[in-house]
Structure 1
Amino acid sequence: MQLSRRTLLTMLPASALLAVAAPLRARAAGRPTAASASGAAEPGADHAALLANTVAIFAGTAESNARPEVAAKLAAITSTARTRLAALDGAGPGELFKGVALGTSDANLNTSYQYLYEIALATRTPGPAASDLRDNVSVQRRVIDGLVLLHDAYYGDQSKGYYGNWFNWEIGISASVSRTLVLLKDELAAHKPDLTATYVSSMDAYLRNGKDGDVDLDSRFHTGANLADITTNRILQGAVTGDDARVVKAVADQLTVYATVDPYNPRHGVTDGFYADGSFIQHDSVAYTGSYGKVLLTRAVQTVKILEGTDYLGTGNGAGTGTGSGTGDLVAVVRGWVADGFAPLIFEGWMMEIVKGRGVSRTATGYTDVAVVVEAVVDLSGHSTGADATALQGYVKFVRQTSKAALDPAVFVSPVSVARYADILADASVPSADLGDAESHTAFNAMDKTVHRRPGYAFALARSSDRISKYEYMSGENLMPWFQGDGAHYLYLAGQDQTRSFGIDYYTTVSPYRLAGVTAPVETRRTIPELYGTAWYDNPERGFTSSSESQNTYVYFPRGTNSLSGGARLGAYGAVGLVLGDDVAYAAKQAGELPDDFVVHRNATATKSWFMLDDEIVVLAAGVGDAAGRAVTTTLDSRIAAASDAVTVTGRLRDGATWPRGGDGNAGGSTAPGPVAWLRYADAGQGIAVGYVFLDGGGDSRPTVALDTVTRSRRVVRTSNPDTPVTKQVFSLSVDQPAGARPLSMAHALVPNATERQLKAYGAGRGHGSGAGRGPLSVVANTTRVQAVEHRGLSLLAANTFTPGTHRAGLLSIDGAASVLLRTSHDGTVSVAVCDPTMARNTVSVTVGGRRLRAVSSDDRVRVREVPGGTRIDVDTHQAHGRSLTARLR
């Protein structure tokens, strides 16, 4: 099921944004707008609508809360409030809530405000049954008294505040306070009439990364999800104080988040946000759809709901139903985010690891991440019509039916969303359907990530470059991230509970040097707290303070030094290339730009390609080694299993012998005695299997198979995780090079859900060299200049080139660095896709040798002409930002 063509125009361009914002600018200047001239609501009515909408979002309505499906959510709100009240009763010196010490911990201050909000929420939540908390003035006044105490003792004096994490002071505390002010507006007016204005003034003062106590669109802190959070808080503050100018500016500021990021002409210098290919970036260079992206999605949908029925976007008639209306445009944009940005990254209800930044080290699961997305889609469907609404509702059903973990709607923020979710599931007229095709390839080149999907599996690849960070470490989270952006892959198998293969337990038990797909030097690295005794590198004299630009660049989320990272997509097939590079800290240290005590690490070297087909993902590597002469390990795959699962590894050598020699199916920790044809990993406990076919063109490397039982605490990857021991069987398939060894080349195919019969069909195991010749796959080239494969069954030739000059790959001649796919259909039509993986070239030229072809159709940037000996395809890649450009030829 697809969204309509109109809504697939996924992002609002800057020109449209200006048009949407025009009524706001006029309103802020006191000029009449078209809506106001026609008798639309005045600011006072708009503020009342904003407040009522906000209370409905968080507390629900009498209608929604009367639904039996909402009872668990209401019980959770009440139970949480009672727990907080008990903690309030038991508080000791220096506490507002028992066990939450104040005075030096910004996190505890933030938590104290959150607890007050949770109590206030229970007093405003309508329900079918009587509750001693509902409209309880005594309880509300306890919350207000708590606000007074926190402000007087810990928050009101800005000269003493603002320690620790800026987020708590500028966003977290303000979110809880602003919502509490909305919920208790009437009682505040009666009990502490000046407190609201006092808090708003203090919240402005803490907006130190802004400008004059307001948002600064040129600030690196006021971007993406952070900007959406800040502006939502300010919308509520304006509504509760009757400050129309504040609301107007906050809405206008938030509108900038909805524009597609143009990397060649960023507005306000901001690179955070959604890109044309569906990528989402936060923190300037971190792929972050699964964490900050879902926060932005939630906030965007809440903004639509908050603004419903107001004149702030010139509609005055509800959100999302009028073509061309302000909120209607925003709804269309957010629908596009869901279809192009989120849906490809969700596999059977699980959010993929490649877009979660430091969040991969948290104990929450990928299923929990997706519950947040589902609530947003539920609400978005209520602001859509026709086929768009049906597609979104069908996606909600699809996620619920395919997820291997039950989604508990009690975790939703809004009781109204819980009721709407129940309605969608009960609607027999809505078919369950994904938003994309079961067979798809998504090249998120703007954030150096790739997702390849087939009905039985999904393959996710994490890359990095001088544009995109290798990883994110921050605040004691993701302590050992060093190789997460160096070609680490995640193979998700259908029907599997992904918590048993990935998530926190994967990072806890799998060595950070042996993540699946990674080439790493054999060395021991220390975490940031181990190196420096703090959660960051502390050197104010050299500009290194928490959240400083130096800290971000060299410690928190360093980019790579390599420029080549990207790939082409042709229909549902893809080719991706990556040249490993060091991170920027290593390069800066060699240039004498960093302090002597700043620790840096040098990477191994490798040129790699991934060719993503139907039944297999072919991986080529060349130049694998280390310029410093260290030993190097390339991990072809790593998987985890429960300690009690029956795990076996079987296979065949190229001389026909079985693997392992003893035939007992337990690989232990041994290196192959000779060239391997194929191996098969099987976990009977999970009912899964993965095959590994070793192809000609990969040299004579002999893999090492290890199956170890590992027990570690989840705290090894995040300092605030519970000290919970995890025991897993860890399977590792690697190629190990000793110190001083010459560079290697390698070639293998991952075969998801493989049977032994299927692996034998690749033709390997009948004498050295037959693996490529008898099966459907052949390695055409595998060097540091060009890597290419051919799949005869698909009539597909795929190639990556890495250096200047002319490169030959089968019948293709490719000029310079490029990624190319060519496929011949049964009717003789030839389809070609070309991408510039460096994002720096103006033109890429490809010649198809021995063929005289004419263009049937092509992208505007593609020119096709006959040349002596073949057909030349010239592709304008100037500022294409990794986009694949295609042509159909005959």
Structure 2
Amino acid sequence: MNPLTRRGLLLSGAAAAIVGSLPTRAHAADDFALMRQQWRAQLVAEGYDPADPAIAPVLTRIADTAQSWWNSMNKAANRTYLWSDAQLSQHQSFAISRSFDRLRAMALAYATPGSRLAGNATLLTDLIGGFEWMVANFYKETGSIVGNWYEWQISGPTWFNDAIVLVYDRLSAAQIAKYTRAVAHYTPAPFGTAANRALSSYVVVGWGVLAGNATAVGSGVNGLGPVFPYVTSGDGFYRDGSFIQHGAHPYTGTYGTLLLEAIAPLACTVANTTWQVNTATVMAWYRDSFDPVMWRGALMDTVAGRTIARFDETERVHYQRVLKAGLALAPSAPAADRAWLRSVLKEWLLCDPESDPTPTDTVPSLLAARALVADGSVARRGELVVSKVFPRMDRIVHRRPTWALAVSMYSARIANFESINGENLRGWTTAEGAAYLYVNGSRQYVDGYWPTVNPIRLPGTTVDVRSRAQGEGAGAKSPNRWAGGASLGGRYTAGGMNVAVQGGTLGLQKSWMCFDDFVVALGTGIKATGGHRIETVVENRRLSAAANETVLVNGSVVVPASGDTATIAKVRWLHLAGTGGYVFPAPVTLGLIRQVRTRRWADITTHQSWALTTPITHTYLTAWLDHGINPNGQAYAYVMLPTATPAQTEAFAASQGASVLANTSNAQVVRAGGVTCANLWQPGTASIVTANQGVSAVISTGEGLATVALADPKHATTTMTATIALTATSVVSADAGLQVTSLNPLTINANLTGAAGSTKSVQVRTA
């Protein structure tokens, strides 16, 4: 069956099958001229100095890119393709996306003032010839999809639409009608969920604007209707800041970014018309979903899904895309959000100590960024300091002024990792409690980290050391529901995961107790019967190019030879220069290895777009705890002190700055200062917390006040009673669903119906 017919999208003519409640009034020609102008202004600008040192390199890159595709373009009269690596018979859907992407690059160079190819008549002739050839051969308005639908219905037509608007004034009405009929044939109306819905809506708005078709523009804008409301299941944005795509995968950094990349230009295109889009909800997404995972030039890979296996879609690329969309949206953002967004964008532009994250793919993005930085009326927001649980996508982010930690988990609700289309073939342990540590800058997880890191020894994981098949277990969910935690005031978090390692017999409970300057990592109930060695990976750090970072163990320099394993007994603390310290409350035997690893992107993806075979070499320092073969109830505890000096690490070890009060299969509890973080894995009592259900809890006391934060990481409890061993005198505040039934001892009845793992808090005065 034709894939378009199966989707219910096949048109006999342009826009013939579009239905719905849409504007029917006639629109003046200048409505469409305005939209084309606003669309084009996002791609090209005027009135700048091409010799400006900041702009000239962008113009050169735009022209160089176009020149390379123009040079390699097949211009023969009897051609059967435009580029040799974009042939429908060999490359299927990629022949569509690649061809239109390259034609767009040529159009951009032609239309960009100051580009050495600007206004080049020969380029224009070959460009339009490319348009004509595509719609006559590959992208026919009566054609059928070959290969993957995405390139035909979203990515290919998005680039085609851009290319058309860039040279619109050089095209005849007949040509424009022909091209838009082709796009309308494959994407007649919005479809899909979340990002795919927004992207397809943008395609429809695009061909509608180009064709002067008010019905299509209305259809595209109205197609965003299902995207803006928060969801309670499936794909989309959740009120807690989570974003899910493909049913069960955290994807803020990829599909969430694509969604912004569709809504931002769409909203800018239809601004000041009948179809103007209210972006207030988008501002909430920036605040709750994107801001917490944007770190100094990187959008954290913990929410990037399978695209960690793409060499050209790194954390830094995703960061720039979110930044670019925000720059485009800022001028028309709702008044209540505009000042906040501009201050955040300015912070994102200036906070990266290692490179300039300014988007430079088009001149307008660069000019908008420069103008914002130069605007003295806009203050930088400052570094975001927050501790946040994303309960609907099983993620935790704990951010301090100079470091950040992201923890990736999965459960009966969220899948472990995605590996489709031959991508991310070694993502096996990326959500097994993997702890991604960012220290100062954001270079750790780019420049070939994912192909070269040992995928069985990701930091924070407890793993069975065994071979795994490529893509083994992808998309699996855990038999256990517990993954998440409670956060108090956006400052402290008790996070935890009941781990059942996919494909093996290993199980345990893991906790991350997040305080002001450190995180305590706990593991308990480590059991396995599969005959494999079980390890907890304390750290697996990519070193600098020189690989000369000093490693201290108990104050003595340890330098394992490359490839050699050092096993050191009675370790109380470890320090890695440039990263920080690790303290073990009870002395441990620690394994260390300094390893040079050479791998290729092709080792983790077979997808033809990303399977590079060029060798990449990096050096890693790995530290781990060996639990032996078939452990039965073992435990571990260590403290992460990011950015700490050796002296600070040693002092923390000597003072026992955090007290592990419980680390059993019943409960894990840590106290530091006036803060207690607890995970009760089952009903009972641990330290000062008693509950009749399993619970994550954070309790802070001081200055005559106590605050208690409670959450159900299983998302299964409807009611709970928790008792805290302290005496209160009155209730200051309580979230909806919490009722204090006793002040001595403090007893709280919690109605958690519909809470879906989110935290509820109560504050009381104490005696």
Q: Decide: shared fold, TM above 0.5.
A: yes
Residue aligning to 2:694: 817
Residue aligning to 1:54: 39
Residue aligning to 1:717: 604
Q: 1:460 aligns with which of 406, 425, 444?
A: 406
In 1, Cα distance between equivalents of 2:117 and 2:387: 54
- Percent of counterpart pairs with the same letter? 27
- Alpha-carbon offset, residue 70 of structure 1: 4.3
Residue aligning to 2:486: 568
In 1, Cα distance between equivalents of 2:259 and 2:550: 43
Q: Give the 3-state SS of the residue equivalent to 1:57 in structure 2.
A: coil
In 1, Cα distance between equivalents of 2:568 and 2:670: 25
In 1, Cα distance between equivalents of 2:315 and 2:262: 20
Q: State the one-letter code of the partner of 1:214.
A: A
Is residue 729 of structure 1 aligned with residue 619 of structure 2? Answer: yes
Is residue 350 of structure 1 aligned with residue 284 of structure 2? Answer: no
In 1, Cα distance between equivalents of 2:20 and 2:328: 30
Alpha-carbon spacing, 1:252–1:853, altered in 2? closer, same or farther (3 Å): same
Residue aligning to 1:147: 131
- Alpha-carbon offset, residue 346 of structure 1: 1.6
Alpha-carbon spacing, 1:157–1:748, altered in 2? closer, same or farther (3 Å): same
Is residue 577 of structure 1 aligned with residue 496 of structure 2? Answer: yes
**What is the RMSD of the two structures over their aligned residues, measured on CA atoms?**
2.8
Q: Which moved more, 1:354-363 or 1:423-432?
A: 423-432
- Alpha-carbon offset, residue 194 of structure 1: 5.1
In the alignment, is the contact (CA less than 8 A) between 1:671 and 1:705 conserved in 2?
Answer: yes
In 2, Cα distance between equivalents of 1:130 and 1:731: 46
In the alignment, is the contact (CA less than 8 A) between 1:780 and 1:789 conserved in 2?
Answer: yes
In 2, Cα distance between equivalents of 1:123 and 1:665: 56
In 1, Cα distance between equivalents of 2:438 and 2:176: 56
In 2, Cα distance between equivalents of 1:840 and 1:643: 48
Q: State the one-letter code of the partner of 2:591.
A: T
- Alpha-carbon offset, residue 824 of structure 1: 0.4
Residue aligning to 2:553: 651
Q: State the one-letter code of the partner of 2:663.
A: N
In 1, Cα distance between equivalents of 2:582 and 2:44: 53
Q: State the one-letter code of the partner of 1:242.
A: G
- Alpha-carbon offset, residue 564 of structure 1: 0.4
Residue aligning to 1:241: 211
Q: State the one-letter code of the partner of 2:213.
A: D
In 1, Cα distance between equivalents of 2:161 and 2:178: 12
Residue aligning to 1:593: none
Alpha-carbon spacing, 1:386–1:510, altered in 2? closer, same or farther (3 Å): same
In 2, Cα distance between equivalents of 1:130 and 1:223: 38
Residue aligning to 1:777: 658
Q: Give the 3-state SS of the residue equivalent to 2:332 in structure 1.
A: coil
Is residue 112 of structure 1 aligned with residue 96 of structure 2? Answer: no
Q: 2:536 aligns with which of 607, 628, 634?
A: 634
Residue aligning to 1:623: 525
Residue aligning to 1:836: 712
In the alignment, is the contact (CA less than 8 A) between 2:583 and 2:653 conserved in 1?
Answer: no
In 1, Cα distance between equivalents of 2:565 and 2:117: 63
- Alpha-carbon offset, residue 833 of structure 1: 0.3
In the alignment, is the contact (CA less than 8 A) between 2:688 and 2:724 conserved in 1?
Answer: yes
Unaligned runs of 5+ in 2: 1-17
In the alignment, is the contact (CA less than 8 A) between 2:189 and 2:219 conserved in 1?
Answer: no
- Alpha-carbon offset, residue 86 of structure 1: 1.6
- Alpha-carbon offset, residue 801 of structure 1: 1.5
Q: Give the 3-state SS of the residue equivalent to 2:463 in structure 1.
A: strand
Residue aligning to 1:862: 738
Q: Which moved more, 1:403-412 or 1:870-879?
A: 403-412
**Structure with the higher helix share, 1 or 2:** 1
Is residue 801 of structure 1 aligned with residue 703 of structure 2? Answer: no
Q: 1:670 aligns with which of 566, 571, 574?
A: 566
Residue aligning to 2:9: none
Alpha-carbon spacing, 1:384–1:744, altered in 2? closer, same or farther (3 Å): same
Alpha-carbon spacing, 1:785–1:359, altered in 2? closer, same or farther (3 Å): same
Is residue 503 of structure 1 aligned with residue 503 of structure 2? Answer: no
Alpha-carbon spacing, 1:759–1:201, altered in 2? closer, same or farther (3 Å): closer
Q: State the one-letter code of the partner of 1:679.
A: L
In 1, Cα distance between equivalents of 2:645 and 2:180: 68
- Alpha-carbon offset, residue 342 of structure 1: 1.3
Q: State the one-letter code of the partner of 2:288.
A: D
Residue aligning to 1:401: 350
Q: Which moved more, 1:854-863 or 1:390-399?
A: 390-399
Q: Render the CA deviation track for 1:834-874: whole Å, top value 9, x for unaligned.
A: 0110111101221012524431111121100217x612111
Alpha-carbon spacing, 1:717–1:779, altered in 2? closer, same or farther (3 Å): same
Is residue 202 of structure 1 aligned with residue 79 of structure 2? Answer: no
Is residue 122 of structure 1 aligned with residue 109 of structure 2? Answer: yes
Q: State the one-letter code of the partner of 2:281.
A: V
- Alpha-carbon offset, residue 760 of structure 1: 2.9
In 2, Cα distance between equivalents of 1:704 and 1:130: 56
Q: State the one-letter code of the partner of 2:428.
A: W
Q: Give the 3-state SS of the residue equivalent to 1:607 in structure 2.
A: strand
Q: Give the 3-state SS of the residue equivalent to 1:28 in structure 2.
A: coil
Is residue 281 of structure 1 aligned with residue 217 of structure 2? Answer: no
1:59-70 correspondence to structure 2 within 5 Å: 59-60=44-45, 62-63=46-47, 68=52, 70=55
Q: Give the 3-state SS of the residue equivalent to 2:636 in structure 1.
A: strand
Unaligned runs of 5+ in 1: 1-23, 33-40, 205-212, 217-221, 264-270, 314-326, 532-553, 584-600, 653-657, 683-687, 765-773
Q: 1:706 aligns with which of 569, 588, 593?
A: 593
Is residue 215 of structure 1 aligned with residue 200 of structure 2? Answer: no
Count, aligned residues = 738
In the alignment, is the contact (CA less than 8 A) between 1:561 and 1:582 conserved in 2?
Answer: no
- Alpha-carbon offset, residue 488 of structure 1: 0.2
Alpha-carbon spacing, 1:201–1:280, altered in 2? closer, same or farther (3 Å): closer
Q: Render the CA deviation track for 1:436-461: whole Å, top value 9, x for unaligned.
A: x6431111111111111111211111
In the alignment, is the contact (CA less than 8 A) between 1:504 and 1:714 conserved in 2?
Answer: no
In the alignment, is the contact (CA less than 8 A) between 1:124 and 1:135 conserved in 2?
Answer: no
In 2, Cα distance between equivalents of 1:391 and 1:193: 41
In the alignment, is the contact (CA less than 8 A) between 1:640 and 1:731 conserved in 2?
Answer: yes
In the alignment, is the contact (CA less than 8 A) between 2:86 and 2:94 conserved in 1?
Answer: no
Question: TM-score, structure 2 length as denominator?
Answer: 0.90
Q: State the one-letter code of the partner of 2:289.
A: G
Q: Give the 3-state SS of the residue equivalent to 1:251 in structure 2.
A: helix
Q: Render the CA deviation track for 1:355-413: whole Å, top value 9, x for unaligned.
A: 11111122244223222222122222212376743333332332232213433646334
Alpha-carbon spacing, 1:368–1:282, altered in 2? closer, same or farther (3 Å): same
In 1, Cα distance between equivalents of 2:593 and 2:115: 61
Residue aligning to 1:516: 459
- Alpha-carbon offset, residue 302 of structure 1: 1.1
Q: 2:504 aligns with which of 577, 602, 607?
A: 602
Residue aligning to 1:301: 264
- Alpha-carbon offset, residue 66 of structure 1: 7.2
Residue aligning to 1:290: 253
In 2, Cα distance between equivalents of 1:408 and 1:762: 36
Alpha-carbon spacing, 1:162–1:386, altered in 2? closer, same or farther (3 Å): closer
Q: Give the 3-state SS of the residue equivalent to 1:563 in structure 2.
A: coil
Q: 1:419 aligns with which of 359, 363, 367?
A: 367
**Structure with the higher strand share, 1 or 2:** 2
Q: Give the 3-state SS of the residue equivalent to 1:398 in structure 2.
A: helix
Question: TM-score, structure 1 length as denominator?
Answer: 0.78
- Alpha-carbon offset, residue 582 of structure 1: 4.6
In the alignment, is the contact (CA less than 8 A) between 2:63 and 2:117 conserved in 1?
Answer: no
In the alignment, is the contact (CA less than 8 A) between 1:89 and 1:97 conserved in 2?
Answer: yes
In the alignment, is the contact (CA less than 8 A) between 1:690 and 1:753 conserved in 2?
Answer: yes
In the alignment, is the contact (CA less than 8 A) between 1:228 and 1:257 conserved in 2?
Answer: yes
Q: 1:692 aligns with which of 569, 582, 601?
A: 582
